[in-house]
Amino acid sequence: MTNNFQILLFARFMAGLFGTAYGVIATTTIASLSSNKNVGRNIALLISGASAALMIGIPLCRILIEYFSWQMIYLVLVILMGGGLLAYTILLPESKTNTVKIDLNKEWKLLTTPKVWSIILASFIVFVGYGAFYTYLTPYLIELFPQIEPYTSGILVFVGACALIGNSISGYICDRIGFARALLYGTELQILVGFLIFITQNNMVVNILYVFLWMITGWFIGLQLNTGINVVSQKRSNFIVSLSGSIIQFSQAVGSSISAIVINQFGMSMIIFISMITSLLCVIFCLLQTIQKQAAIITSENI
């Protein structure tokens, strides 16, 4: 309820800190409680809930702020979060992550295994491109199509819906073909969609539709990486998952910085190329990993 800016800034920092911690714990808990056949679908369900809340929460807050102060809205949110914490404590069964003590030596050895660091590296590459385009998505649309500015809020709701759709589809496909193949197919599609966005920048409706499709594929790819890091860390390492989350946040910041340079040098319309390049790098990386695995299998069979 304070009006002091420094205290508000500190509170915002703490909210971000514990919010990120919740995301890591929730993801590893869901993965730990899921069978290998359903881990992708269940993580997708968790993230879909967050996407739906974001899609509903932003326009709802725009309405509520007309009638209530932001302090009152935050108070209601605190009460709701307290109720959620109580429900988790009573209803949530104990997971494997709660019974395993953190051993930094084991965590470090796990981190240095090829499967784990390859997922982390792929996450960094992909989310540089995602952050580069998504951070400037609203300015991109307004600069290319100034006439849509009054409808930006509605468009962003549809963007949120696309994230929800992409995440939901990805969980089903992940459980069917595995996160590695789904990641490869998703990044290949992302390259194509990025190219279509670039060549349709003179057509507002078509370009916006491709932006929606880009969001679907972006969240499709993100789910594969989230599932992958949980699977390769045996679904019980909060440390590895939190490290992966930190890398993702950092990579999006890197992508935003690269976009700022590209916009200054070449213009807003060119930032989609960052996403295309990072997706291409991820495809090459995935193919190299596949070739390496096949070579290892052939070598073991010949021995």
Rounded to whole angstroms, the Cα distance separating 274 from 133 reads 8
Q: What is the pLDDT of residue 33?
A: 73
Name, of 93-107, 141-155, 227-241, 283-297, the range with top average pLDDT: 141-155
- The tens digit of pLDDT for each residue in 120-145 reads 999 999 999 999 999 999 999 999 99
Name, of 8-22, 140-154, 196-210, 243-257, the range with top average pLDDT: 196-210
Rounded to whole angstroms, the Cα distance separating 281 from 287 reads 10
pTM of the model: 0.79
Can you tell me the mean pLDDT for 3-24? 71
If 0-12 CB within 10 Å is exposed, 13-18 middle and 19+ buried, where does residue 9 land? Answer: exposed
Which residue ranges form the domains of the chain, and what is each CATH number? 5-302 (1.20.1250.20)
To the nearest 10 degrees (0 to 180), the angle between helices 238-266 and 204-232 is 150
The count of other CB atoms within 10 Å of the CB of residue 121 is 15
Residue 255 identity (one-letter amino acid): G
Q: What is the pLDDT of residue 8?
A: 72
Residues 288 and 209: beta-carbon distance below 8 Å: no
Q: How is residue 3 annotated by DSSP?
A: -
CA dihedral angle for residue 240, residue 241, residue 245, residue 247, rounded to 10 degrees: 20
- The tens digit of pLDDT for each residue in 238-290 reads 678 778 888 888 899 999 999 999 999 999 999 999 999 999 999 999 898 88
